[in-house]
Amino acid sequence: MAQQSTPDTLDPAPGANSSLDRPPTVEPDGGATLLAWAARMREEQPAWRDGSGHVHVFRHADVQRILADPATFSSDTVGVLSGGEKQAPRGTLLLLDPPLHGKMRRLVSKAFTPGLIAGLEPWITELTGQLLDAAPEGAFDLVDTLANPLPVTVIARMLGVPAGDRGRFQGWADQLLSTDPEDPDSVRRMEETAVTISAYLQGFIEARRREPLGDLLSTLVGAEVDGERLEDEDIASFATLLLLAGHITTSVLVGNALLCLDGDPGLLAKVRADRSLIPAVLEETLRLRPPFTRIERVTTTGTTVAGTAVGPGTLVHLWLLSANRDERVFEDADAFRPGRSNSRQIAFGHGIHYCIGAPLARLEGRIALEALLDRYDRIGVDHTVRLGWHGTNVFGARHLPLRVHRA
């Protein structure tokens, strides 16, 4: 398998533009071109430099190694993306490096506990039923009806903000998700949205400092490790992260699971008959169709990735979508096989930045699939409607029309 040290000379991949300055997008074919491109890059050019000088990494071993090396590959990409000297806000866990990351994560973990997540199950089950009660008979859009409002409502309740602001939360999440890390204007709009969210949350944070309630914001306000507490900026940053990552992970996971099962009616029947298979379905969905196609790091020093020299200050795109389909790790990697050993899938990241909200996403995904199977004896994607897809960073449908029949 070829490993060239001059990736810019690679011939154009199928579906990519002739100059190969940017990766293909998920639109308009739902990622088929992107997946074909990633498969070729895994084999022929596992580290590729795009037209902006960014480096893209495709193989599982390389992605995993980079995620496990925060000293060489920093998570604080804000300065590079904004073209300035900005640093990540203190509470934005995804963008922090050790030792501050460890301190912030310990503080946040005081509030975001397994017990808190498990205790939400009865209410999430009730909410899921209410959302499906409002669904039209016979056909509805899964994303609008369930996959979007479910996690947004859960997050609003966890934080202790008004459920009536769900539409505002949804709008902010959509704005954050539309960010293109290679477009400075897009990054600027993301920063403006984050400032807006922080200003919205500030009033609730101040109120909880005066009078704590039994919600996540109150617990974050009171969290303490080694005599240190979270500042308001930290709390607002974590809440923003929860809104973005917590919302899209569940929304896309539920839709992607239905897309995977729709392609295998026999498997769908087995899952309907044996609900204990649902966790395996979700894990395989996460491997085959991870919610986020890639994440970014920036080099702190000169290094080598897959035989390619990478200078300091280089933005590195780690393709989770490609790593999770690496044939060196997963046999018959493009096949949907629930029950395979998925311990090495990295949809939720790896190392110190492993997604703190992964248990919540799995819980919401399981409850949503159980509710759909309980309520409908026939569920299928309406293929007469052209699906619209998220951009390059998110691997899922913006809308997923279903045809259903009540059990």
**H helix runs in 274-319, sequence order:** 278-288
Query: What is the predicted pLDDT for the residue at 361?
Result: 94
Query: What is the predicted pLDDT for the residue at 175?
Result: 77
Q: Which of 199, 198, 237 is nearest to 107 (CA)?
A: 237
Backbone angles phi, psi at 52, to 5 degrees: -95, 0
389: DSSP letter: B
292: DSSP letter: B
Query: What is the predicted pLDDT for the residue at 27?
Result: 86
- Whether residue 19 is predicted with pLDDT greater than 80 in this model: the reply is no
| Residue 193 pLDDT class (50, 70, 90 cuts) | confident
- Whether residue 40 is predicted with pLDDT greater than 50 in this model: the reply is yes
Q: Which of 359, 358, 352 is nearest to 75 (CA)?
A: 352
CB 296, CB 181: distance < 8 Å: yes
Both structure tokens of 21: 């300055």
**Per-residue pLDDT tens over the stretch 41-68:** 999 999 999 998 999 999 999 999 999 9
Query: What is the predicted pLDDT for the residue at 177?
Result: 67
- Could you identify the residue written with the tokens 């902006």? 52
User: 269, exposed or middle or buried, with CB in 10 Å at 0-12, 13-18, 19+?
Assistant: exposed
CB 328, CB 60: distance < 8 Å: yes
Angle, CA 208 vertex, CA 202 and CA 213 arms, to 5°? 135
Query: What is the predicted pLDDT for the residue at 93?
Result: 80
* E strands present in 50-193: 55-57, 73-74, 139-141
Distance between CA atoms of residues 312 and 73, nearest Å: 9
- Whether residue 296 is predicted with pLDDT greater than 80 in this model: the reply is yes
Query: What is the predicted pLDDT for the residue at 163?
Result: 74
Which whole-number Å values give the CA distances from 179 to 13, 111, 391, in the listed order? 24, 29, 9
Query: What is the predicted pLDDT for the residue at 288?
Result: 97
**Per-residue pLDDT tens over the stretch 331-353:** 999 999 999 988 899 999 999 99
**Per-residue pLDDT tens over the stretch 346-389:** 999 999 999 988 999 999 999 999 999 999 999 999 999 999 89
pLDDT top residue among 111 and 351: 351
Both structure tokens of 398: 């913006």
Averaged pLDDT, 163-170 = 80
- Whether residue 16 is predicted with pLDDT greater than 70 in this model: the reply is no
Query: What is the predicted pLDDT for the residue at 103?
Result: 85
The b-or-e profile of 41-50 (16+ CB within 10 A means b, else e) is: bbebbbbbbb
CB 27, CB 389: distance < 8 Å: yes
* High-pLDDT (> 90) share of the chain, %: 56
Averaged pLDDT, 225-247 = 82
- Whether residue 11 is predicted with pLDDT greater than 60 in this model: the reply is no
Mean per-residue pLDDT over the chain, rounded: 87
* E strands present in 173-282: 224-225, 228-229
- Whether residue 275 is predicted with pLDDT greater than 70 in this model: the reply is yes
Cis peptide before 12 (omega within 30 of 0): no
Query: What is the predicted pLDDT for the residue at 316?
Result: 97
- Whether residue 142 is predicted with pLDDT greater than 90 in this model: the reply is yes
Distance between CA atoms of residues 176 and 406, nearest Å: 36
- Whether residue 183 is predicted with pLDDT greater than 80 in this model: the reply is no
- Whether residue 108 is predicted with pLDDT greater than 60 in this model: the reply is yes
pLDDT top residue among 167 and 55: 55
| Residue 8 pLDDT class (50, 70, 90 cuts) | very low
pLDDT top residue among 311 and 356: 311
Query: What is the predicted pLDDT for the residue at 190?
Result: 77
Residue-wise DSSP of 168-185: HHHHHHHHHHT--TT-HH
Query: What is the predicted pLDDT for the residue at 365?
Result: 97
CB 50, CB 56: distance < 8 Å: yes
User: 229, exposed or middle or buried, with CB in 10 Å at 0-12, 13-18, 19+?
Assistant: middle
For helices 358-375 and 121-133, angle between their N-to-C axes, nearest 10 degrees: 40
